[in-house]
Amino acid sequence: MSFILIYNYHNNLVGYRDITHGTVVEVVWTILPALILVAIAVPSFRALYLADEILSPVVTVKCIGHQWYWSYDYDDLLEPITFESYMTATDMLEKGQLRLLDVDNSIVLPVNTLIRILTSVKLDAMPGRLNQTTVLINRLGTFYGQCSELCGTSHAFMPIRIDAVKPDQFVSWMESMLEE
């Protein structure tokens, strides 16, 4: 395309006046990208606000990151369950446990149940805003995560382990936690 423009300029097939005083062209290449950006922005903003919509959760878990451990609160029960979770030290690991991923207390959540987590899946903190997200775990298993904020020397030692269990196992776990 550049070759054609240079060739036409030198052979004077296109008048010089059309290139230097092309007000219509300048208006078009200014307004057209602006309209494209608006067409992209409107659905994007709608999707961002829909992502903040919280459905009626069955379980609410408040996750608080401390320096350098996690605390978890299940507040919507008759008696709240609160516990802290630290990384299992390397010398305390048992056979089959994962170094730098296993914790002494993992989060236990029921599968196929709407869960509200009061923190977020990688959403940076903003003053005056409570970060929350809705999670629906569709399969049983153990899921691992990691703190994503650089908070100091032991930042890498804040693993997150979520045990997704059947709802009846979740109820049994809650009862055992309330007995402790």
Considering the entire predicted model, what is its pTM?
A: 0.64
Spell out the domain ranges in the chain.
Answer: 2-51, 59-179
What average pLDDT does the segment 150-155 reach? 70
**DSSP 8-class letter at 114:** E
Summarize pLDDT for 32-85 with one digit per residue, the tens: 999 999 999 999 888 877 766 667 888 889 888 887 888 899 988 788 899 998
Length of the chain: 180
Q: Identify the three-state secondary structure at position 6.
A: helix
User: Residue 142: which pLDDT band, with cuts at 50, 70 and 90?
Assistant: very high
Closest CA to 146 of 116, 102, 105, 178: 102
CATH number for the domain running over 59-179: 2.60.40.420
Give the E-state strand segments of the chain in sequence order. 59-65, 70-74, 81-85, 107-110, 114-118, 133-136, 141-146, 159-165
Is the peptide bond between 70 and the residue preceding it cis, with omega within 30 degrees of 0?
no
- Position 87 scores a pLDDT of 82
What average pLDDT does the segment 132-160 reach? 81
